[in-house]
Amino acid sequence: PPAAENTLVSGSKLHRMSETNRITVGILCGGGPAPGFNGVIGAATLFALDRGWRVLGFLEGFKYLMQGRSDPAIYKDLQLEDVTRIHVVGGTIIHTSRANPTKNPEHVANCVRALRELGVNHLITIGGDDTAHSSMTVAAASGNIHVCHVPKTIDNDLPLPGSVPTFGFRTAQAKGHKVMRALMKDAKATQNRFYIVVAMGRAAGHLALGMGMSSGAHLTLIPEEWGDRPILFSEIADIVETTILKRIAQGRPNGVIVLAEGLVERMPVEEIERVFAFGGQDIPRDEHGHIRLDEIELGMQVREEMKRRFKGRERMSFIHKNVGYELRCADPIPFDVEYTRTLGYGAIKFLESGGTNSLICVVGNRLSPIPYDQLVDPVTHRTATRIVDIDSMQFRVAQEFMIRINDHDLTLGSPLLARMAEVAKMEPQAFIDRYTSAIHPFSHWDFNGQ
Instruction: Report, as residue numbers or ranges, the catalytic residues.
Output: 155
Bridge partners, residue 322, by sequence: 198
In DSSP terms, 122 is beta-bridged to 25, 146
Q: Which residues pair with 10 in a beta bridge?
A: 13
The residues pairing with 28 across neighbouring beta strands, listed in sequence order, are 125
The whole-angstrom separation of Cα 352 and Cα 433 is 66
- Are 147 and 123 contacting, i.e. CB atoms less than 8 angstroms apart? yes
Question: What is the β-pairing status of strands 358-363 and 146-151?
Answer: parallel
- In single-letter form, the type of residue at position 98 comes to R
Which has the closest alpha carbon to 136: 381, 387, 386?
381
For the chain, the residue count is 450
User: What is the spatial distance between Cα 417 and Cα 428, in angstroms, rounded to a whole number?
Assistant: 6
- Using left for φ > 0, alpha for ψ between -120 and 50, and beta otherwise, residue 177 falls in alpha
Kindly report the CA angle at 156 between 154 and 160, in degrees rounded to 5?
140
